[in-house]
Structure 1
């Protein structure tokens, strides 16, 4: 028999529902919150009053009105709390600090050679980044609600630091970040980078308001996030989206996963560079190599043009398989290499997807470049602690301290926002 929800549970649920709308919508009013959530005017006013008292939400003036009472605008205070997000890729670690409304304030990137980085080295880099970012922005650690990590490979849910990360291609197959919370003194949440990016696209990017979408990330590897019925699809053990290791050729090149003909072994950046330069000439420095490839393409180099055309054709084939499987409204292409392809060759890529898709779903699916850019993984990772903050109702330590002035402010706020009217109080 299901446990009956307590009054506290219902209030936390209502708070989460309203705060989520405020985070995603930006400025809005109490009446609009009531309309979008279906909550009663009294409930909206009561919960919003609580959010104002704790410092999470602020009033931002009035909405112009042709007549009647003016509506008070509300917004989440970006300085109410801070959050860190990190993109742990196979070639570098990028960490950024954001306000509560996820505006990026500062960022650090540390590249490293090779693709089998030791998790302890990642932890050292993250710790250094966190220290530098807090110092640069003047943010106290007590103001930070957590650090989100977007990592390669399959991450068993839930996304706690003790979650097991299965990333065979870089040698991880354990709870690699279980020790990081204690080291940093911050809550740490871990998820697959493609999934964190998909959440960011759903909140703020090209997938916002889209019920069925695919977010495809192509760098040196490849991955995908799947949105179905407006929710991120994870599968039975959270491995859904390992698109980079689906096969598009029976006799294709060997992949790092031990198989052959995988998507990433054909359309990943290093694979495309090898097809241009040949294995013996490939240097292993993907961003620099891709810049040279694109410059050669623009200069009319025949080998470069063949390599890029083949990459677009195979990427179109790989994306068409997703179209036929999931029937998305949109395919959003991102990742540092995918962003370049979508930027320079949008028409060719869309045409290739349609060519290999079934006619009806292929014509319906819109292929577009990510609006969030190449730093979307870190932003997506930052949504993990924000999501937890929204659902849990926990506030940073610095806002838990009481003082006579703060109690006086709270009393004034309570009087000003007594739950007797929805707006204009």
Structure 2
């Protein structure tokens, strides 16, 4: 039987030790051993190397003593100055950027309001570069201090290749946006990922899924995103391909045939249907200014019949898809995120009702469905966390795997 690659095992063990320190620090070595199920000898060797590399730091708590030795227990935590990263979120109407330290604490952030859908890829890349450089300067750092950049955007993203196959941001397919940014940033490596994967990781690190290693995130914005956390790892397809919830097939409100979920329940479809059924100069003016969703939310609060029916259908379609996902994954929590959820109960209540009607009795009480309204800088912080997660498993000085050529 083939034995495991010892360098790979060492890298995996190192990642788990780093992640335990991030999640539970300040933490003692004996607690790391308990949480990771690694031997005390292995934990001691890894933490010693991490200390040598300057990735973690120690401090002694005088009131907490090692029972066996009667000495103050040494607690370990991440060194915030070990590395700095930048996270970026692209939305159709703005760019949000955050610079963080090694613990994902935000040092500076900024928001650039601009309609990206009207810009060519090269112009978008220029705008992102300028914003990154400004955000780094605002944090009191220089570009050569940055260890990595991650850009999140809606759509289908092939993370390993750094290619965006399709996105409402770009007017073309198969955009090599990671290479485009890396070339502009003077050697700082840029990666890209779907925005829902970034908010899934942010929920795991900072949000309602802290302590959970299995949960789903449904992003309801211009597109529909699905983030799957399983056993503490993000689920990805071939080459890191992100799943697109909008491509799932559902039965449309007419009950005839089938339709893609995005054509019924995404913000894009909701706005198109709303614009078609609403008349009047005031409504048309709101859509032309890019405030169509604000108008939909306003009319939902007054229970305008056309809008209520539209959101009811969208909620039912989402509920149909989520019921299937719960049946497949049985997650303890399903987190709904995204700007479209500002529509409130008019969208969420039919969603919950449909899930309840469709789930089998054996799964009726398995998943808790919650709505979490994220600000855009938290999504950018999730992008920074993705880069940090890569760094935790990257080769450093003494603890990482050898580079295979």
Identify whether the pair has TM-score above 0.5, normalized to the shorter chain: yes
CA distance in 1, matches of 2:266, 2:193: 21
Q: 1:14 to 1:113 in 2, by over 3 A?
A: closer
Task: Report how many aligned residue pairs link the two structures.
Answer: 384
> In the alignment, is the contact (CA less than 8 A) between 2:200 and 2:228 conserved in 1?
yes
The corresponding residue for 2:138 is: 136
Instruction: Please say if 1:313 is aligned against 2:316.
Output: yes
**Deviation (angstroms), 1:88:** 2.1
CA distance in 1, matches of 2:290, 2:259: 23
SS at match of 2:177: coil
Within a 5 Å distance, the mapping from 1:13-412 to structure 2 comes to: 13-62=12-61, 64-65=63-64, 68-113=70-115, 115=117, 117-158=119-160, 162-167=161-166, 169=168, 170=170, 171-185=172-186, 186-236=188-238, 238-239=240-241, 241-250=243-252, 261-278=259-276, 281-282=283-284, 283-284=286-287, 288-338=291-341, 340-341=342-343, 349-370=351-372, 373-394=375-396
Q: Once the two structures are superposed, what CA deviation does each residue of 1:95-119 show, in whole Å capped at 9, x if it has no partner?
A: 2111111122222223333636422
Which consecutive residues of structure 1, in runs of 5 or more, have no partner in the other structure? 253-258, 396-425
> In the alignment, is the contact (CA less than 8 A) between 2:300 and 2:346 conserved in 1?
no
CA distance in 1, matches of 2:329, 2:134: 43
SS at match of 2:196: helix
**Deviation (angstroms), 1:144:** 1.4
Q: 1:354 to 1:115 in 2, by over 3 A?
A: farther
CA distance in 2, matches of 1:176, 1:18: 32
CA distance in 2, matches of 1:141, 1:276: 45
CA distance in 1, matches of 2:72, 2:349: 47
> In the alignment, is the contact (CA less than 8 A) between 1:63 and 1:73 conserved in 2?
no
SS at match of 1:101: coil
**Deviation (angstroms), 1:146:** 0.2
> In the alignment, is the contact (CA less than 8 A) between 2:315 and 2:351 conserved in 1?
yes
CA distance in 2, matches of 1:377, 1:288: 21
TM-score (norm 1): 0.78
Q: Once the two structures are superposed, what CA deviation does each residue of 1:306-337 show, in whole Å capped at 9, x if it has no partner?
A: 44434333332232232233332221101222
Q: 1:240 to 1:328 in 2, by over 3 A?
A: farther
TM-score (norm 2): 0.82
Q: 1:385 to 1:350 in 2, by over 3 A?
A: same
Q: 1:49 to 1:56 in 2, by over 3 A?
A: same
**Deviation (angstroms), 1:376:** 4.3
Which consecutive residues of structure 2, in runs of 5 or more, have no partner in the other structure? 398-405
> In the alignment, is the contact (CA less than 8 A) between 2:156 and 2:243 conserved in 1?
no
CA distance in 2, matches of 1:12, 1:229: 18
Q: 1:231 to 1:9 in 2, by over 3 A?
A: closer
> In the alignment, is the contact (CA less than 8 A) between 2:85 and 2:149 conserved in 1?
yes
Q: 1:15 to 1:270 in 2, by over 3 A?
A: closer
**Deviation (angstroms), 1:213:** 2.1
CA distance in 1, matches of 2:385, 2:221: 21
**Deviation (angstroms), 1:391:** 0.9
**Deviation (angstroms), 1:219:** 0.9
CA RMSD of aligned residues (A): 3.2
The corresponding residue for 2:403 is: none
> In the alignment, is the contact (CA less than 8 A) between 1:270 and 1:284 conserved in 2?
no
CA distance in 1, matches of 2:253, 2:354: 21
